[in-house]
A = this chain, B = another copy of it.
Amino acid sequence: MRALETSDRELVALMTEAMRLAGAYWTSLDERPSYPSTSGAETARLFDRPWMDEGRGGDVLNDFRAMAEHVRPCTGRFFGYVAGSGEPVGAVGDFLASVLNQNSTSWRSAPAAVTIERAVVGWLADAIGCDGFAGQLCGGGSMANLMALAIARETLSPANEDGARPGVVYASEHVHMSVPKAVALLGLGRSNLRLVPADADFRLRIDALEAAIDSDRRLGKMPLAIVANGGTVATGAVDPLRELADIAAAEGLWLHVDGAFGVPAAMAVPEKFAGLNRANSISLDAHKWLYQPIDCSCLLYRDRDAARKTFSHSGDYVRIFNEDPSETFAFFEESIELTRRFRALKLWMSLQYHGRNAYREAISRDLQHAQRLADAIQALPDLELLAPVPLSAVCFRHRTGNNEAILQRVVARGRVYLSNATIKGDFALRACFVNHRTRPEDVDEIVSEVMAAADEV
């Protein structure tokens, strides 16, 4: 056998064993602790090793068991952050994407893959009430938000030959950290992000936004874009999209909705996202509330030409000899990425395997889980809800206990995993539901585990 070649027999053996491990892992999820008992020293002992000259062959799969015991498993009792559940059909789709190994950068380079990605992006746009939007899949919400602001800048305040012109970006004080990161990266100036105060429900205050824009105009600054939260990461608050669209239209600003966490919920509760279809761009993470394996985000935009104007820098060696519009189509002309993974295949498989109704139902169920938890918290005098629950994130605390210590104890107990948030200066426990495996009894364990941890602390 020549170097790197594998026989059919070897590959079948490897795949069979991998499939067995995958099946056993999925079946075991419910028994696994919600967080592994491990340490930096332990993971280094297991996995910090040199690359040896000789190959190990199929023995490489022997590492899987140790790996599985030192990961955060996607059980139905993991409620930290906004951690999707890695739907297994999507994982099989990811496998086949790597088998086909397409560079989904242009129709010419990957005819089927690019056609499928365009179809899937259309499904997502349609599902959230934004039929007609164009877009692309990308790695994560940070990348989607960065590209959106780059397009906004290029459209409204194109850099001159010498560099970026400062432009002011407005967002609520609860904006995701990817937005200041993008503003800095684009050279807009860290001081040119206005964090606009939010109201008692954690939604951007329209009066404060108007005052901020007005003040900037008077100082000769150039307002550029509004980033609206389509579900803040801490509490799920959705900024007033309709009013923001009105202001963006009146002021000539770009409206981007960062819906990485929340926007898929527009499939189930469209009334909470009224105005969404007036945005210029929208990001949503399929690896969050569409349950897909990481990574799979989506950036939607109304105007494909604006994206092209921002990202088109073609070299000769990708020149396309063709006149047919679908055959000359190239994602790389409207993206930061040139080589692009066939991310659409997992969506193509998982979304069709289950159907649109099942997705709507799963999202509705997550919304119900959050209400169930909120009700349980409000029924217990020792616990206090710290924020409204418009979507599926619930922030609360123990009224008398040390909540930081309670959180560490909850995680160490291993039944449920919660993360934390800062709510009006207070340390909050936080549970978020974006997991198709979660059952009502898992939700009920949150309260019982917090109470048990509080007793122990």
Copies in the complex: 2
Q: Which residues of B contact A98 (CB under 8 A)?
A: 86, 90-91, 94-95, 293-294, 346
Knowing A58-B353, A140-B338 touch, does A71 contact B285 (C-beta < 8 A)? no
Q: Verify if A215 is at the interface (C-beta below 8 Å from B).
A: no
Pairs across A and B, CB under 8 Å, 8 listed? A2-B365, A8-B23, A40-B115, A91-B101, A94-B95, A163-B165, A177-B338, A185-B186
Q: Give CA–CA (A146, B44) in the complex, Å.
A: 30
Taking the closest CB of chain B, its distance from the CB of A91, in whole angstroms, is 4
Please determine whether B162 and A87 come into contact, CB atoms closer than 8 angstroms. no
Q: Verify if A341 is at the interface (C-beta below 8 Å from B).
A: yes
Q: Give CA–CA (A97, B184) in the complex, Å.
A: 32
Q: Verify if A14 is at the interface (C-beta below 8 Å from B).
A: yes
Q: Which residues of B contact A70 (CB under 8 A)?
A: 111-112, 115
Number of interface residues of A (CB under 8 A): 167
Q: Give CA–CA (A22, B99) in the complex, Å.
A: 6
Q: Give CA–CA (A158, B96) in the complex, Å.
A: 43
The CB with the most chain B CB atoms within 10 A, among A127, A325, A357, is that of A357
Knowing A25-B100, A192-B163 touch, does A365 contact B119 (C-beta < 8 A)? no
Q: Verify if A164 is at the interface (C-beta below 8 Å from B).
A: yes
Knowing A14-B89, A43-B107, A101-B293 touch, does A3 contact B362 (C-beta < 8 A)? yes
Within 8 A of B (CB), among A132-157: 139-143, 146, 150
Q: Verify if A351 is at the interface (C-beta below 8 Å from B).
A: yes
Q: Verify if A55 is at the interface (C-beta below 8 Å from B).
A: yes
Q: Which residues of B contact A378 (CB under 8 A)?
A: none
Q: Give CA–CA (A163, B167) in the complex, Å.
A: 9
Q: Quick one: closest B residue to A54, CB to CB?
A: B355
Q: Quick one: closest B residue to A287, CB to CB?
A: B339
Knowing A39-B324, A337-B139, A342-B294 touch, does A166 contact B159 (C-beta < 8 A)? no
Q: Give CA–CA (A272, B24) in the complex, Å.
A: 47
Please determine whether B359 and A3 come into contact, CB atoms closer than 8 angstroms. yes
Q: Quick one: closest B residue to A329, CB to CB?
A: B40
Q: Which of A59-67, A246-254, A274-282, A445-453 contacts B (4 or more CB under 8 A)?
A: A59-67
Please determine whether B181 and A159 come into contact, CB atoms closer than 8 angstroms. no
Ranked nearest first, the 4 interchain pairs of A and B with the lowest CB-CB distance are A187-B187, A164-B187, A86-B101, A40-B326
Q: Quick one: closest B residue to A109, CB to CB?
A: B72
Q: Verify if A377 is at the interface (C-beta below 8 Å from B).
A: no
* Of the residues B53, B161, B191, B352, contact of A51 by C-beta under 8 Å: B352
Q: Verify if A381 is at the interface (C-beta below 8 Å from B).
A: no
Taking the closest CB of chain B, its distance from the CB of A21, in whole angstroms, is 7
Within 8 A of B (CB), among A179-233: 180-181, 184-192, 233
Q: Which of A237-245, A382-390, A418-426 contacts B (4 or more CB under 8 A)?
A: A418-426
